[in-house]
């Protein structure tokens, strides 16, 4: 069985109800389940996300809480896509670091910060629906992990360097498959569907099932909540329409550009092919002429050799006649 009355969304509850001390138990249950620790909230600190207007264009909610160990917990709920969301995570943590250390305080007084990001859009590339980021230092050459000294462990009351640095949780709600095998899965199911079964046992969910019921809100608060939900629907519709139109325009522009490029490339290729074919034909004709000239040259050479041979033969005959005449003259004189 599901809840007796329709529940308000977690992001809307985070704008008001969950900031009330009487309802800390809901957030404590969520954070304890997520971090696998017993988290108690001492107070809510000032944050950017106190807006309750339904026309908040970014539809972003952020809460800043301090737990019983003096650590800070940033809870961000983001509905719309942001390409630079990783940078905003870093900015939020950096801002908390600088705002909660006072001038003159030692660096050791910097508070441990957790950044919990509940996202209703696809961030990055990955198959999981929950990611956790911690800082550690690995040796470049020996691959060992750098650790705190014994004195540092006593001074800072922790065992790992990562316990000093900010820690990040990324909840990709759209990637959750719906299987509720663990208490954390029950929380993911509520964040995705807005429903809490009667048999849900995860810390904080039984309280949420009672305290986040819409029918317990005043008429004015119900109208404000309905306007918020309608604004979300409208923005999703606008974004989806923009995506569809953008894709259609991109396809149309791609076809036009493709045709233009095709014509240009066709002309260029035609000219290139024409030049290549012209050169080939010219070379072929030149080769034919060269062969013809070589043949004519060979014929002329043969004729030249034949004439030279004939001239040599004639010269030899003339020389023989001259010798005969000379011998006859000498004979005549002797007589």
- Retrieve residue 128's tokens: 């999981």
pLDDT of residue 5: 52
Q: Decide if 5 is inside a domain.
A: no
Residue 224 lies in a domain: no
pLDDT at 209: 93
Q: Would you state the pLDDT for residue 319?
A: 81
211 in Cβ contact with 24 (< 8 Å): no
Distance CA 171, CA 33 (A): 13
- Classify residue 232: in a domain, yes or no: no
Domain assignment present for 299: no
Q: How many domains does the chain have?
A: 1
Structure tokens at 165: 């640095």
pLDDT number for residue 3: 40
Rg of the Cα atoms in the chain: 47
Q: Which residue from 108, 115, 106 is spatially nearest to 135, judged by alpha carbons?
A: 115
| 102 within a domain of the structure (yes/no) | yes
Ranges under pLDDT 70 in the chain? 1-5, 47-60, 234-240, 243, 258, 262-263, 266-267, 270-271, 274-275, 278-279, 282, 286, 335
190 belongs to a structural domain:
yes
Domain enclosing residue 48, as ranges = 10-217
Q: What pLDDT was estimated at residue 51?
A: 47
- Dihedral sign for Cα atoms in the order 143, 145, 149, 152: positive
pLDDT the model gives residue 220: 86
* pLDDT, position 57: 42
Question: Distance between CA 228 and CA 53 in Å, rounded?
Answer: 8
Inside any domain, residue 28: yes
Q: Looking at the domain assignment, is residue 73 inside a domain? A: yes
Exposed, middle or buried, 24 (CB in 10 Å: 0-12/13-18/19+)? buried
């Amino acid at each position: 069985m599901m809840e007796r009355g329709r529940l308000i969304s977690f992001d809307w509850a985070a704008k008001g109800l969950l900031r009330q001390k009487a309802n800390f138990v809901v957030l404590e249950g969520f954070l304890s389940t997520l971090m696998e620790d017993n988290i108690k909230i001492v107070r809510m600190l000032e944050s950017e996300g106190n807006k309750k207007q339904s026309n908040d264009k970014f539809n972003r909610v952020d809460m800043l809480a301090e737990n019983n160990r003096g650590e800070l917990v940033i809870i961000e709920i983001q509905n719309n896509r942001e390409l630079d969301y990783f940078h905003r995570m870093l900015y939020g943590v950096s801002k908390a670091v600088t705002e909660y250390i006072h001038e003159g305080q030692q660096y050791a007084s910097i508070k441990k910060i957790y950044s919990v990001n509940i996202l209703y859009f696809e961030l990055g590339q990955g198959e999981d629906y929950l990611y956790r980021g911690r800082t550690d230092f690995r040796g470049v050459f020996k691959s060992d992990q750098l650790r705190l000294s014994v004195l540092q462990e006593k001074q800072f009351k922790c065992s790992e360097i990562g316990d000093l640095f900010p820690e990040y949780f990324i909840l990709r709600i759209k990637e959750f498959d719906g299987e509720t095998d663990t208490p954390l899965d029950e929380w993911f199911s509520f964040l995705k569907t807005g429903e809490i079964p009667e048999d849900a046992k995860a810390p904080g969910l039984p309280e949420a099932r009672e305290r986040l019921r819409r029918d317990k809100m005043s008429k004015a608060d119900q109208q404000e909540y309905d306007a918020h939900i309608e604004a979300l629907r409208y923005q999703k519709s606008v974004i989806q329409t923009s995506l569809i139109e953008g894709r259609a325009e991109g396809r149309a522009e791609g076809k036009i550009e493709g045709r233009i490029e095709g014509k240009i490339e066709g002309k260029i290729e035609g000219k290139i092919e024409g030049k290549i074919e012209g050169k080939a034909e010219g070379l072929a004709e030149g080769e034919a002429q060269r062969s013809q000239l070589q043949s004519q040259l060979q014929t002329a050479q043969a004729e030249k050799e034949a004439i030279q041979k004939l001239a040599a033969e004639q010269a030899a005959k003339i020389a023989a006649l001259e010798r005969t005449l000379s011998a006859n003259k000498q004979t005549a004189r002797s007589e």
